[in-house]
Amino acid sequence: MSISTLRHIAIAGAGALLLSVQTASSFAPTEVYRETQAIDYVLGSTRATGYFQTVAGQCLLTLMIAEVVDLDRAAPESAARLRFAMQPGQAAVVGSEEGPEMLLTCGAKAATLQVTRAQAQP
């Protein structure tokens, strides 16, 4: 499934995470990741952890989405895997109803992935 056909995906069991296409105008400073560099963001009571690879000129992003748990108190539950490709310049948002969002933008030649953290939009 390409990101251009994706509008909204709710992931059951992962804190009602949302993936959607959105503009970058309302987002804060950006962190730039290189291929296979670990990406780790807390989105309310859920955590998104993953990486991207450059495949066929696209950013192929893999994120594991799971509830944040205190390992001293409980064992982690299974995570949902979200995997999709973006063309250079394309963007997607992963967020939670209870916390910040992360705007993911595939960089030039799919050599980088920019991740920008911001509060959810109303």
DSSP state letters, 31-89: EEEETT--EEEEETTEEEEEEEEEETTEEEEEEEEEE---TTT-PPPPPEEEEEEE-TT
Domain definitions of the chain by residue range: 3-118
pLDDT one-digit tens code per residue, 18-62: 443 333 444 457 899 999 999 998 888 888 999 999 999 999 999
Check residue 121 and give its pLDDT.
Answer: 59
pLDDT one-digit tens code per residue, 63-114: 999 888 777 777 777 889 999 999 999 999 998 888 788 999 999 999 999 9
Specify the pTM.
Answer: 0.71
121: CB partners within 8 A, 6+ apart: 22, 26, 101
